[in-house]
Amino acid sequence: MSERVEQLLEEAVADVAPRIADPAATVVRRGRVARFRAVTASAVAVLAVAGGGVGVAARLSADPVPPPPVAGVLGEPEPPRVVDGKIVAGNATIPVPPGWRVVPDGPPRCGMQEKAVLISGPGQRGCTLAPIEIQSTSAVIPFGRAFALAPPSPSVSGPHPPGSDRTFVRAILAVEAPHMLTLPGGEPGWLVTDTASERGKANYDNTLVLPWSQLSITLRVDGVAQQRFIDSIRTTPRPTTRLALPATAAEAELSLPPLKQADRDYARSTDSATTGAVLRLLNRQTQIVDNRHACASQSQPTARLLLRTATLPPFPTAGTPDASQAAERAAAARSATMITIALGDGCREAVSSRGGRVRLDEAAYRELLALMGIGAR
């Protein structure tokens, strides 16, 4: 039983818009052909009268084609380094806590290093542990907590373990959205657990991801110290763009708070029409939130949208994946782009793991829910 739970957990956490030219809309918009402009104006006038006025004219003048997608702006992650007594990596400058030291990973420093900040580059993690660990990485989608949800219908079922003629309903395992925050300077951060929940525990273990700086920071200190450390970080991110998204998506997965009911708080689709519509919706969001006006904070509820360019293969019903299956799952996980959506009152913004931040108003959020087949909330 425990082996099956581990398999399901692994499956849960393994981890866009077609550019269709509209010649007519382009000609009207640019006004290059006077005759066409005159004919179109006459047609609009006739239709407006026939259709009752403004509505038809407004629909004809609107350009249904979203802007072209924004390519990912992130390059290769840079290893953290110490400059003037501070740790510099990506867009972030991180002071070393007073009385602490900076240590690189690897021998002869295996084991826990007290009052130390461990730094490592991509793929350099070794045997060293520290209360604070800073690693540059291209894997910027945080693990998050996984929840077993009851499926929305009996269709999600499977045979009972051998020796029984009963059937069982297979639970859906979904990953909770991280807590969003905005660091001084405007860079977004994703926190697996809010720091308030990290107080008074026997063991502290939290993760802060800075997706645009391509940093993963492990925090093995109490919640007060975690918050103090986070508040000390300063960032100088590049100017914000629209959401950087994949050109296409084979799979879309949406998790909403409080993540308790599959048909209300979770949805997954591999339907190309659905994933395409989701990408077009996101590409239409052009109200950029610059670094000075970003508002996400860890006290707000957050939604998590995962877009994969390759479909994540199902975990084997028996045994463990062979080498080719494991490679296929790893490739699908690497193809993922995560969009987090702040759902706070007065703060509705979406952030892409590949770069970009936009305002996502209530109407756009409702459209996203409808596209993913989640009912009114």
Check residues 61 and 277 and name the one with the higher pLDDT.
277
- Half-sphere exposure of residue 172, counting CA atoms within 13 Å on the CB side? 24
> Which pLDDT score is estimated for 333?
65
User: What is the C-alpha separation between 301 and 286, in angstroms, rounded?
Assistant: 23
pLDDT digits (tens, 9 = 90+) for 310-327: 876 665 555 566 677 666
> Which pLDDT score is estimated for 238?
86
pTM for the whole structure = 0.74
Label residue 69 exposed, middle or buried (CB < 10 Å: 0-12, 13-18, 19+): buried
In this prediction, residues 336-352 reach a mean pLDDT of 94
Tell me the two tokens of residue 105: 């990973």
3-state secondary structure 66-104: CCCCECCCCCCCCCCEEECCEEEECCEEEECCCCCEEEE
> Which pLDDT score is estimated for 180?
96
In this prediction, residues 93-102 reach a mean pLDDT of 96
> Which pLDDT score is estimated for 366?
95
pLDDT digits (tens, 9 = 90+) for 185-201: 999 999 999 998 887 77
Check residues 50 and 284 and name the one with the higher pLDDT.
284
Give the residue among 298, 312, 373, 309 at the shortest CA–CA distance from 340: 298
> Which pLDDT score is estimated for 179?
94
User: What is the C-alpha separation between 20 and 23, in angstroms, rounded?
Assistant: 9
pLDDT digits (tens, 9 = 90+) for 200-247: 777 789 999 999 999 999 999 999 999 999 999 999 998 899 999 999
The proportion of the chain whose per-residue pLDDT surpasses 90, expressed as a percent, equals: 50
Domain positions in the chain are 23-61, 69-142+178-238, 240-377
Q: Average per-residue pLDDT in the chain? A: 77
Give the residue among 319, 346, 337, 256 at the shortest CA–CA distance from 69: 337
In this prediction, residues 103-117 reach a mean pLDDT of 85
* pLDDT of 282 higher than 90: yes
The proportion of the chain whose per-residue pLDDT surpasses 70, expressed as a percent, equals: 67
> Which pLDDT score is estimated for 208?
96
Going by pLDDT thresholds of 50, 70 and 90, the confidence category of residue 160 is very low
* pLDDT of 156 higher than 60: no
Other residues' Cβ atoms within 10 Å of the Cβ of residue 101: 12
In this prediction, residues 93-111 reach a mean pLDDT of 88
> Which pLDDT score is estimated for 16?
35
Give the residue among 138, 71, 67, 16 at the shortest CA–CA distance from 356: 71
Angle between helices 272-283 and 362-371 (to 10 degrees): 170
DSSP H helical ranges for the chain: 2-13, 23-30, 34-51, 54-61, 223-232, 262-265, 272-283, 323-334, 362-371
In this prediction, residues 55-74 reach a mean pLDDT of 51
| Cα-to-chain-centroid distance, residue 172 | 20
CA distances from 355 to 72, 86, 132, 197 (A): 6, 25, 25, 28
Check residues 263 and 215 and name the one with the higher pLDDT.
215
| DSSP letter assigned to residue 344 | B
Are the beta carbons of 167 and 160 closer than 8 angstroms? yes
* pLDDT of 369 higher than 90: yes
In this prediction, residues 350-360 reach a mean pLDDT of 96
* pLDDT of 36 higher than 50: no
Going by pLDDT thresholds of 50, 70 and 90, the confidence category of residue 58 is very low
- Half-sphere exposure of residue 124, counting CA atoms within 13 Å on the CB side? 19
